[in-house]
Amino acid sequence: MKVSTRAHYGLRAVIAISEMARSGLPVSVSDVARAENLSDTYLEQLVSKLRRAGILRSYRGARGGYELVRDPDTITVAEVLKAAGEQIVFPECTTPEGCELAHQRGHVCASSHFWQNLNSMVNKIAEETTVGSLIRNYEEEMGKMQAENRQ
């Protein structure tokens, strides 16, 4: 499985907007793009999808930008990926309908059950992991690294 750029950048954008909007001001796409080293144009397309999905709210004008609609602890990774137009799916062969071998032989291959389980586990993690928890984990790790560097 390979995570698409759109999924990766969409999640990075939501996290960055959540962190940067703590000041109480909307965050511009150019600020997020600069902070995350992403293309403004590509990011604009992503945040537009995230806005339409109800994850981001937009404000127009000179001081316009984006902010999260909800608390980051209520926004899951699965929601962000879906809003970005992505889904976590392992080989299509995880179902009899998507399995070439099943069409030929009438049954799925021996590894199909493994892929089904892996797909279920990854999706469960994405549904249970929130943007808020990712931010807290990151801040905790950064705090540990800074403490180690001071010693």
| pLDDT score recorded for residue 145 | 87
Q: Each residue of 84-95: pLDDT tens digit?
A: 987 776 666 666
* Spatial contact of 149 and 143, defined as CB atoms under 8 Å apart: no
- C-alpha torsion 82→72→121→103, nearest 10: 0
Band of pLDDT at residue 29, cut at 50, 70 and 90: very high
Q: For 27, phi and psi rounded to 5 degrees?
A: -105, 130
Sign of the torsion angle spanned by Cα atoms 40, 42, 43, 47: positive
CATH code of the domain covering residue 125? 1.10.10.10
* Spatial contact of 10 and 49, defined as CB atoms under 8 Å apart: yes
Q: Each residue of 76-130: pLDDT tens digit?
A: 999 999 999 877 766 666 666 666 666 567 666 777 788 888 888 999 999 999 9
Domain of residue 60 covers 5-150
| pLDDT score recorded for residue 110 | 75
- Structural domains of the chain, count: 1
Q: How many residues does the chain have?
A: 151
Other beta carbons less than 10 A from residue 62's beta carbon: 4
Which two three-digit tokens encode residue 145? 């690294």
